[in-house]
């Protein structure tokens, strides 16, 4: 995408719009976090740049790849399409919040066991989507897993192994 397309267009002689900053309070992975953001700041940038939670990845930054998936109030969202200000007062869960007392989440372990990653860039988003998918009861078959994971792209093509990892954690063993 042409980078200039994402910038606000200001004609010659016209003033750039004033930056408006607002306080935002998020409950991130169980901890209260406060920050001040430009009203245009995405939740993705607030997490990565504001709170230094860089496990959540920026892929396309326009809602097409799923790399930035996090949970807000228990539902998966694309954090690149979510304004940080709109998450004020909400519960946010990121990949950093999945482990419990140093023990990885079962899906994190299953992704390793099944080689559900190659370069790993999409993996945080894949796992956050997979956690939600299982909680939503959408892992009843491989077709269902594929359908409800279809918003998470993997350029390395690790899809069969990702499905195998989710299938295992969903309690369906190694059967297709």
Residues that bind ligand FES (CB under 6 A): 58-61, 63-68, 78, 80, 117-123, 154-156, 158
Distance of closest approach, residue 65 Cβ to ligand FES, in angstroms: 3
| Residue 48: strand, helix, or coil | helix
Residue 140 is encoded by which pair of tokens? 């009843």
Q: Which is nearer to ligand FES, 26 or 149 (CB)?
A: 149
Q: Which is nearer to ligand FES, 23 or 120 (CB)?
A: 120
Residues 6 or more apart in contact with residue 118 via CB below 8 angstroms: 156, 157, 158
Let me know how long the chain is.
Answer: 176
Distance of closest approach, residue 32 Cβ to ligand FES, in angstroms: 25
Distance of closest approach, residue 28 Cβ to ligand FES, in angstroms: 18
For the chain, how far is it from start to end, CA to CA, in angstroms? 38
d(CA 17, CA 144): 45
Q: Which is nearer to ligand FES, 16 or 57 (CB)?
A: 57
Q: Which is nearer to ligand FES, 25 or 64 (CB)?
A: 64
């Amino acid at each position: 995408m042409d980078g200039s397309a994402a910038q606000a267009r200001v004609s010659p002689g016209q003033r750039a719009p004033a930056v408006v900053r607002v306080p935002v309070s998020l409950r991130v992975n169980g901890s209260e976090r406060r920050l001040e953001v430009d009203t245009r700041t995405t939740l993705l940038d607030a997490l990565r740049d504001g709170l230094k939670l860089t496990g959540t990845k920026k892929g396309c930054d326009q809602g097409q790849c799923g790399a930035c998936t996090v949970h807000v109030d228990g539902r998966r969202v694309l954090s690149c399409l979510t304004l940080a200000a709109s998450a004020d007062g909400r519960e946010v869960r990121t990949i950093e919040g999945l482990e419990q007392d140093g023990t990885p989440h079962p899906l994190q372990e299953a992704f390793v066991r099944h080689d559900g990653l190659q370069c790993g860039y999409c993996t945080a988003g894949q796992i956050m989507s997979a956690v939600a998918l299982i909680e939503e009861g959408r892992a009843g078959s491989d077709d269902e897993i594929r359908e409800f994971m279809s918003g998470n792209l993997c350029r390395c093509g690790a899809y069969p192994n990702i499905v195998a990892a989710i299938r295992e954690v969903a309690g369906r063993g190694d059967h297709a």
